[in-house]
Chain A
């Protein structure tokens, strides 16, 4: 289409403006159609998850499904509460575990390290952000789990068995595949992401901000603490919340390592499950229609949670943006 117009343009100079407008119109239509398809896709995602998961919502109610603690395909009772709890615990704990190290790396690379070293650190961090989830998963199964089992879980459990029996119900029987393993792996996976976002935030702090503090005789760390970090605080927080969203949706490595238990209460050394992990484990294998629909419903709640997290991050970014430089 476009080529033909180009050719005719050359030949028929006098009518050019008309063709130009036609070309522009067509171009705009195509571009807007492509843009619209993304809008359609996002809406379709919500629509499909909602309609395919409608039956459980009807049967148990929105709150009933959310707070239902039983997941029993045999009796046809489904509730997403255990998975919601598992998702929130693993995501929040892994963010807590990885936040300060990530900020440390970001500060080191943005402020302290010489340029060549910062380049190396940045490259490694960016590269590690791209390591696939399943690759981390296979490492977890064959390296991390046996290691943690023999050096941490079992010794701690036996220590508690003899010295602090009160802790046992909280610790739970030590299986290598458990909440703690999943949290450690999740923390490793979101650390590069948090780091990169925080690093960008710190780099964007204007030079004048630093120079003012330094002029007062502040040491490097004082410059960081007084001038740079407070300035970048909002963006760092938004980045952390985006990382939280990442952790919430992370699927494969968690499904491979979390132990997959659908019943509360979860314990530290005992197995648990998350919303993505239950979908991956059971989706291909659900026999009953209600079971399959319930997995879709879990997906729908996961959608709502991800949406909330992302909107909060976007709102933070916008609120804290300077002079209309919002994203």
Chain B
């Protein structure tokens, strides 16, 4: 997430004191302190109003999905037809979880080198004439709705390939990750003091080795955090996957088909399960929501651990 710069320094000089700050009468003071306490109450209320509904969502997801997630079939079986669920035959989302892993991993594979490379360009070649353009377009891309990136992947990959595929889904998700990784990489590389680079150059190291062997390792933690944040964002996206990786009710017949053929992914399957008319599928939808939530939370905790490790080494 972008750290916004502080606002204009000249704004609101503190000298512009409120009326009556100087005329201290007991009544005045009491009123001001009452007001202060009132505002604290209001702020606590606002915090509760924001956090409570969101925690309620998490609670509902977990309590509704836990029974589905705790079965063995959920991980080992594929979905098949609704008749399976209705008749109590084994059914699960094993193929969906597998598909999600393939698509997400491939998306990372595509997005990380490009994103980190673009970040290096922005921070290590600050005078490159294309940098302002890159920065603006990268931010633009970051602000674009994910569904448009799905449309792009549809036009670029699905149409020429002639079929929906795991690859096209991965490309769409990579489009989501890219700008976040590029932005985060630039941010952390810039924090690395120039003296480190100068030290390397003074030792006679070529610039590319300074970047790869000194600057990047020093910024490793920040880069990894950026990648994890990008991953968490993309892993929950369903909209770009609906017309790229499409969906599948079964395990693919060969490993290659996970890349070349339509595959299931958790967010897209969750959508179709949620709007289906079968109670049994609703339960599996909640289960899919739990898995997604766990995936996001694990990623998130990962960023926290990584960040904490950095603070520890700082000391």
Contacts and interface: CB of A to CB of B under 8 A. Distances in A.
A and B touch in the complex (CB under 8 A): yes
Interface in A276-327: 276, 279-280, 283-284, 296, 299, 302-303, 306-307, 309-311, 313-314, 317, 320-323, 325-327
Contact of B117 (A23, A31, A242): A31
Contacts of B3: 200, 204, 327
Contact of B270 (A19, A49, A98, A134): A134
A107 B300 contact: no
A48 B46 contact: no
B1 to A, nearest CB: 6
A42 B141 CA distance: 6
A26 interface: yes
A205 to B, nearest CB: 6
Interface stretch (A72-80, A123-131, A155-163): A123-131
Given A132-B237, A138-B289, A142-B282, A320 B155 contact: no
Interface string B1-21: 111111111011011111001
A219 B33 contact: yes
A252 B6 CA distance: 34
B47 A248 contact: no
Contacts of B212: 2, 27
Contacts of B4: 197, 200-201, 204, 235-236, 238-239, 317, 327
B236 interface: yes
A258 interface: no
A193 B233 CA distance: 12
Interface string A95-132: 00010111111011100100000000101111111111
Given A132-B292, A137-B274, A320-B8, A248 B32 contact: no
Contacts of B50: 98, 101-102, 104-105, 125, 191-192, 195
A136 B113 CA distance: 32
Given A35-B118, A219-B33, A249 B144 contact: yes
A93 interface: no
A267 interface: no
A326 to B, nearest CB: 6
A38 B138 contact: yes
A143 interface: yes
A268 interface: no
A169 interface: no
Nearest to B40: A112
B47 A39 contact: no
Interface stretch (B75-83, B90-98, B202-210, B253-261): B202-210
B130 to A, nearest CB: 7
A141 interface: yes
A307 B55 contact: no
Contacts of A280: 147, 239, 242
A137 B1 contact: no
A142 B270 CA distance: 13
A7 interface: no
Contacts of A130: 232-233, 236, 296, 299-300
A134 B5 contact: no
A251 B150 CA distance: 12
B58 interface: yes
Given A196-B1, A306-B144, A322 B8 contact: yes
Contact of B12 (A38, A200, A220, A230): A230
B300 A127 contact: yes
Contacts of B45: 104
Given A44-B152, A204-B6, A108 B14 contact: no
B120 to A, nearest CB: 5
B243 interface: yes
* Residue of B4, B15, B36 contacting most chain A CB atoms (<10 Å): B4
Interface stretch (B66-74, B101-109, B175-183, B192-200): B175-183
Interface residues of B, number: 109
B36 A141 contact: no
Interface residues of A, number: 126
A27 B211 CA distance: 10
A303 B182 contact: no
B51 interface: yes
A98 B53 CA distance: 12
B76 to A, nearest CB: 23
* Residue of B7, B60, B296 contacting most chain A CB atoms (<10 Å): B7
Interface in A64-83: none
A218 interface: yes
B36 A252 contact: no
Contacts of A224: 39
Contact of B5 (A26, A139, A217, A322): A322
Interface string B22-60: 001000000011011001101111110111011101101
12 contacts: A23-B209, A34-B114, A37-B118, A105-B51, A138-B289, A197-B4, A226-B17, A252-B267, A276-B145, A279-B151, A313-B143, A322-B5
Given A235-B7, A306-B143, 19 more contacts: A39-B133, A109-B47, A112-B43, A130-B236, A130-B299, A134-B292, A138-B61, A206-B6, A212-B14, A219-B33, A222-B21, A226-B14, A226-B17, A236-B7, A302-B148, A307-B143, A320-B8, A323-B9, A325-B5
Interface of B: 1-9, 11-12, 14-18, 21, 24, 32-33, 35-36, 39-40, 42-47, 49-51, 53-55, 57-58, 60-61, 64, 113-118, 120-122, 124-125, 128, 130, 133-134, 136-149, 151-152, 155-156, 175, 178-179, 182, 206-209, 211-212, 232-233, 235-239, 242-243, 267, 270-271, 274-275, 282, 285-286, 289, 292-293, 296-297, 299-300, 304
